[in-house]
Amino acid sequence: MSLIVWRISHKKQINSVFKPEASSCSGGRWNSKGTSLIYTSATLSLATLEALVSMEIENFGNIFVSIGVKIPDNFPIKQVDENLLPHNWRDTSPPAVLASIGDKWLTAKTTAVLKVPSAIIPQEYNYLINPLHPDFERISIYPPQSFTLDRNLKNIEKKLLTESYKVVLNKY
């Protein structure tokens, strides 16, 4: 059975998000700046969380799209063993060894897809795609779909802060 992974992208970037030059502009947890790597997630909800950690919920209006990516049956996927990662791999400022792992995988070109644990929810996975790999052309990219979040999500941070504040006050 084919695997569908997801990407949340700004509407302005939909024509370039899967192009090598666009993905090399900035580094990430699993790659250095200047290396082409496309980040996708196993589920649309995880892709949403991955996008939310880098922006304010208020900015997450009707300017984003969700893009499904189909990885074919029997497509080779390499997986990073979480047990071999440093204890601080989930830190907000990730250790440089993670980018080194991704960069080495990109250079080796053993597979077009690398499965890595999510730093947000380590029991779930992100799928990193090498747009320069010869097998990249076998991956199908679905048309972008309009994507908006429920307005109630805007209150989550406020509610969490309020509840945390109440817990602290109740201790004293």
Q: How many domains does the chain have?
A: 1
Q: What is this structure's pTM?
A: 0.86
Q: How many CB atoms lie within 10 A of CB 160?
A: 10
Backbone angles phi, psi at 157, to 5 degrees: -60, -45
| Domain extent for 33 | 3-171
Query: Six-digit token pair at 8?
Result: 């949340």
Non-local CB neighbours of 142 within 8 Å, separated by 6+ positions? 67, 68, 69, 70
Helices (H), 19-155: 20-23, 44-52, 96-108
Q: What is the pLDDT of residue 60?
A: 62
Q: Per residue in 55-88, pLDDT tens?
A: 666 656 677 899 999 999 999 999 999 999 999 9
Instruction: Give strand ranges (E) for the chain.
Output: 3-10, 38-41, 64-71, 77-79, 113-117, 125-129, 140-141, 145-147
| Reported confidence tier of residue 46, pLDDT bands at 50, 70, 90 | very high
| Reported confidence tier of residue 94, pLDDT bands at 50, 70, 90 | very high
| Cα gap 160→172, rounded to integer Å | 19
